[in-house]
Every structure is written in C-alpha cells, then in structure tokens.
Amino acid sequence: MSAYRAPLQDMQFILHEVQGAESLFASMPGTEELGRDLMDAVLESAAKISEEVLAPVNRSGDEEGCRLEDGKVYTPKGFKEAYKEFAQGGWVGLSGDVDFGGQGMPKVLAVLFEEMVMAANSSFALYPILSAGASLALARHASEELKQEYLPKLYSGQWSGTMCLTEPHAGTDLGIIKTRALAQEDGSYKITGTKIFITGGDHDLSENIIHLVLAKLPDAPDGAKGISLFVVPRQLCDEGGQAVIDNQVSCGAIEHKMGIKGSSTCVMNFDGAQGFIVGEPNKGLQYMFTMMNYERLSIGLQGLGLANNSYQVASAYARERVQGRAATGMHNPDAVADPIIVHPDVRRMLLSVRADVEAGRALAVYAASQLDLAHFHADEVVRSRAAKLVAFLTPVAKASFSDKGFEGCVLAQQVLGGHGYVREWGLEQNVRDARIAQIYEGTNGIQALDLAGRKMVKDREGLLACLAMEIDEYVDARKDDAALSAYIEALQAALSSLQDISVWIKTAAEHKPDEVGAASVPYLRVVSLVLYTFMWARMVEAAQRGIALGEGDMQFYDAKIKTAQFFLRKKLPELQSLVAEIKGGSEVLMALDAEQF
C-alpha cells in the first residue's frame, strides 16, 4: 500500500501562481502579515502531520473502528496520541478568532490543510473539523460570556464540538424536530430529546464535548422558524472550572456503518441537560447555517482529498503493473507485457480523476478566497459581492467535490482491477470512506435543490449575475490572448449555456412547480462544469506564464496544460447532454403513480 503524500507542489501553484494569495492577503486588514514564506511553512507542517501522524493510523482505525463500553465511546488505537499532537500543534484553532486563542489563519489556507487531513485520515479529521465548525458558530453568534467560556478550550482541542441536528424522524426536514428546551429561572434551559447520527457525539479524545443542539421552545412557531440553538456540554464545570459535573447527556448507541469507521456516529440522549441559548430564540437554524456552510466546504474536501489519495495509488500502480501490449507496438520489449499506463482506457480513468481533483482544488481555494474577502475586506461593496458568490458556490463545491470524489475513488479502484477490490491497496477503504460525503451535511440532492431553487429561481440578490460578472471580467481582460483563446471561448460558451438554461428553468417553473426539483441535479452539474472551465483557464494561464518566464518546473506546467486539454475535450462536452436532460422536463419523472414503483 502506497503512503499518502500531500500534493504540496500543486497546492503552492494554485495558492501563489493562480490565486495570487500574497497580494490578496496584503490587501486586507488582519491578513497583511501573511507572506509567502509563512504560508508555505504552514502547508509544509500540515503535510508533515497528515503524512506522519494521521495517515499511519488510517487503516488500523478502519479495521478496529470505534466501540461503546459502559456508555463510553473509545476511538481506535493511536487516535488519542494523534489527537494530542494535532491539538498541541494548534491545528484545531487554525482559522479561529485570535481574541480567543485561535490562529486567525484565512480560509484559503484552511481548505488546503483540510484537504490534506481528509485525504490522510477522514475518520480522524472529522473530530477537529466539527470542533472548528462549532467554534465558528459560537464566535459569530454567541454572547461574550459563552465565547469566553468555550472558545479557548475548543481552539486548543482540550474540548471538542459537535453538531446535533438530526432526529430519528427528522433529517432533511429539521422543521419537525421534537427536542424541547424549557427556560429555567437562572437563565439556562433544560434540553430533552434524542439526536441520531451525531459525529463525535462521544469519544475519548478530549476532556469534554460541547454539543450545539437544535431544539424548540414551548411557544415557538411551527416549522424551521421555531428552532433555537443551544450549547450543551457533556460535563458542566465546578467552581474551580473543572469539567466534572455530569450533565445528563449520554450516548445510547453507536452506528455500524459502511465507512469512516474510526469516526464515532452516535445516538445522543439529552435527559433534561442544562443548555445555554446561542443568540436569540427561534434563529437557531440561521445560526447553524454559519456552521453548515463552513462544514459543507470541508465535507466536499473529504471527497476531493480521498480522490487525490486514490489517484496517487492508481497512477503509481499503472506505471508498474504489466498486462497486454500497447496498440501502437511494444513499449517494453524486454518484459512479458507493457505497463497498463500504455492503454488509452487506463489513461482515461486516471486523467478523469486528476482533472476533477485539480480543478476542484483550484475551486476550493477560489471559494475560500471569497469567504476571506467577505470576512476580512475593508470595503463593504467587496464584502457583499464576495458573500453572494460564497452563497452560490457553497452547494456546488459540497456536491461536486463529493460526487466527483466518490466517482474518482471508484475509477482509481478500477485502474487496479481485482487488486483494487481487495483490502491490500487501501482503495476499497477510500471508496467506503468517500461515500458518506455525498449524504451528510445535507444530501447532494438537497444541495442541488438549494442551488436551483433558492439561489437561482427564487433569488432576489443576483447571485448568478454575480458569478457571470466575475467570469465576464476575467474573459474581457484576456480576449486578445491568443494562447488562451480555446479556454476563453469554451468558458464564454459554457457561461452562455448556463444563463440560457437558467432562464429556461425559471420560465418552466412558473407553470410547473416540479420543474425545479427535476432540473436541480443536472443544473448543479452544469454550474460545476462552468466553474471547472473557469478554473482550468486560470490554471493554464498561470502555467503558460511560468513557461514564458522559463522559471520553475517545466514538466509540471506541461502536465497542467495537457490535463487542461483533456478536460476541455473529454469532460466539458457533458455540459450539452446535461442541458438536454434538463429540457427533458419533469413529466417523465412524475408520470408513474407511487404504487407503480
């Protein structure tokens, strides 16, 4: 089994040569100090901990899994030591608020870091990533007092965080949750209810676990508008500040599941546990979205990272494994057969994974740069435009990275033939671990509905127009660049198809309410292809610049341009079939009676 190697060269190329991170950070208060050397040092340390601490306990974690004994959950051997080192390195609070002990690093760096930890060990990565998401929701919406009490310990990793939304009867539709919160005289609340599928609901990595719980007050309005958010610690602190008082929070069971076996997935019972409200009553879902938007990008990176990990194994294998002869004649006359890398179909599979991973990584950094602009930039106009782009990009990133990530893991597995199906090479674990990213944090179907419905058909803020403006500005500035013309023309044509099909869906939906749901998944894929074309144009431009300067790794730039050509000729054409699929309409989907299924 090959060891995971963080793709530092590609990450640095995207960060510096495509995104121009140094000048981006120099333009914003709070990030000016972040020079190239510091960014590279962070990435190198992240690579080291991912490769040397997390990857070594990935397979053993999968084999051993988590266990529940006497109401306590134990993580696999080695996770505790890895967590200690991870927390001591300051990684849990990497992008946390500096006023409360966080490192204050921008999201652009955090996404590259998260890709590495997800690729090295997805099960492990979920524990700190949920803590980071919980901290973000508290940092944005909780009172000063709650922030003082919880954030420093969450950032240091001494305590960890969870997100408790799902109930047995309420998954996608959180408006129907039954967990109740009763106000107490001291200003706290008694929380009662059962949550299921809670990642990191219980474990032995941190001293305390801080649950962010969605619950309803007795007088709350029905549906999603009546949900409030509470902080509920597993243990309350005594007067000396020690988390030792039992708070009626218990783990009833852990799930036995397809993948991410080192991540505990818990049934959590809250039996009149003491909780503290975050922000105002009935605004809980809105607050939780702060956390979910953050988590959604991270969960997308789970798919992306695992696909990259799988690509590394499959490309190395394809150069070594000999079977059959090349169609053009023997490549390796001294051996009994040629390496399978000579076969066009093997190359199709490898290039497909690679083209999606590299474009996805560029898109993750691009989306993160918009999150940073929305957060740090001094100019309100810039902040607002970036926030609109983030709203549009988040569901696309989550669903595309995880769909293409799973697909990539399966393709890489296929490159190994039967050897990909058995455990030895680790690819069957990657397939199992990547699958969940398409389901949790809102299924990919729901991401697509959010995009096509709320963010396109019902949009009043001009979100798609904002993306179109970004692309138009990019295209206008390069319309005389002959070397880039194939990409610029492809990008213009793809954007124009997206705009046309958006109008088509809006018009169709005026008379047929099912049209949005029928179009949503292919629509999200169209948007994703437009964005990937945009990213490939930016990467080719940077590679051409590198070649013209005659500095750097020419082989790297050459491979970048050839992978871009593969994307343009072999992947982008799918856009037209997706448009045709959307125009196929909703009737064929709704024609069968429920009993006929």
Ligand X SMILES: Cc1cc2nc3c(=O)[nH]c(=O)nc-3n(C[C@H](O)[C@H](O)[C@H](O)COP(=O)(O)OP(=O)(O)OC[C@H]3O[C@@H](n4cnc5c(N)ncnc54)[C@H](O)[C@@H]3O)c2cc1C
The dihedral over CA atoms of 63, 66, 69, 73, expressed in degrees to the nearest 10, equals: 160
Is residue 442 a contact point for ligand X (CB under 6 A)?
yes
Mention every residue, 6+ apart, whose C-beta is less than 8 A from residue 277: 181, 189, 228, 229, 230
Is residue 454 a contact point for ligand X (CB under 6 A)?
no
Q: How far is the CB of 590 from ligand X (least distance, A)?
A: 13
Binding residue (CB under 6 A) for ligand X from 118, 129, 198, 516: 198
Q: Give me the phi and psi of 513, to 5 degrees please.
A: -60, -25
Is residue 287 a contact point for ligand X (CB under 6 A)?
no
Q: How far is the CB of 200 from ligand X (least distance, A)?
A: 7
Q: How far is the CB of 526 from ligand X (least distance, A)?
A: 19
From residue 23, give the alpha-carbon distance in Å to each of 109, 281, 432, 583: 14, 41, 40, 43
Is residue 197 a contact point for ligand X (CB under 6 A)?
yes
Binding residue (CB under 6 A) for ligand X from 49, 118, 132, 163: 163
Contact 93, 113 (CB under 8 A): no
Please give the Cα distance from 540 to 545 (Å, whole number): 8
Instruction: Tell me the per-residue interface mask from 166 to 185 with ligand X, x by CB under 6 A, - otherwise.
Output: x----xx-------------
Q: How far is the CB of 514 from ligand X (least distance, A)?
A: 11
Kindly identify the residues of this chain, within the stretch 231-270, that bind ligand X according to CB under 6 A: 257, 265
Nearest residue by C-beta to ligand X? 171
Residue 559: burial class (beta carbons within 10 Å; 0-12, 13-18, 19+): middle
What six digits make up the tokens of 385?
Answer: 């435009």
Kindly identify the residues of this chain, within the stretch 516-575, that bind ligand X according to CB under 6 A: 517
Please give the Cα distance from 131 to 467 (Å, whole number): 31
Stretch that binds ligand X, among 48-56, 158-166, 350-358, 403-411 (CB under 6 A): 158-166
- Long-range contact list for 543-547, CB < 8 A, 24+ apart? 544/483, 544/484, 545/17, 546/17
Q: How far is the CB of 79 from ligand X (least distance, A)?
A: 17
Q: How far is the CB of 464 from ligand X (least distance, A)?
A: 21
Q: Comparing C-alpha atoms, which of 355, 440, 452, 369 is closest to residue 404?
A: 355
Identify which of residues 112 and 292 has a Cβ nearer to ligand X in the complex: 292
Strands 72-74 and 67-69: antiparallel
From residue 119, give the alpha-carbon distance in Å to each of 97, 116, 431: 26, 5, 12
Is residue 586 a contact point for ligand X (CB under 6 A)?
no
Q: What is the number of other CB atoms lying within 10 angstroms of the CB of residue 440?
A: 20
Stretch that binds ligand X, among 34-42, 53-61, 441-449, 567-575 (CB under 6 A): 441-449
Q: Which position among 295, 358, 428, 441 bears the catalytic label?
A: 441
Stretch that binds ligand X, among 69-77, 195-203, 340-348, 477-485 (CB under 6 A): 195-203
Please give the Cα distance from 304 to 353 (Å, whole number): 10
Kindly identify the residues of this chain, within the stretch 128-157, that bind ligand X according to CB under 6 A: none
Please give the Cα distance from 23 to 10 (Å, whole number): 19
441: annotated active-site residue: yes
Give how many residues touch ligand X by CB under 6 A: 21
Identify which of residues 16 and 257 has a Cβ nearer to ligand X in the complex: 257
Is residue 212 a contact point for ligand X (CB under 6 A)?
no
Tally the residues of the chain.
597
Kindly identify the residues of this chain, within the stretch 418-437, that bind ligand X according to CB under 6 A: 436
- Which residues are at the interface with ligand X (CB under 6 A)? 163-166, 171-172, 197-199, 257, 265, 436, 439-443, 445-446, 449, 517
Report the catalytic residues. Answer: 441
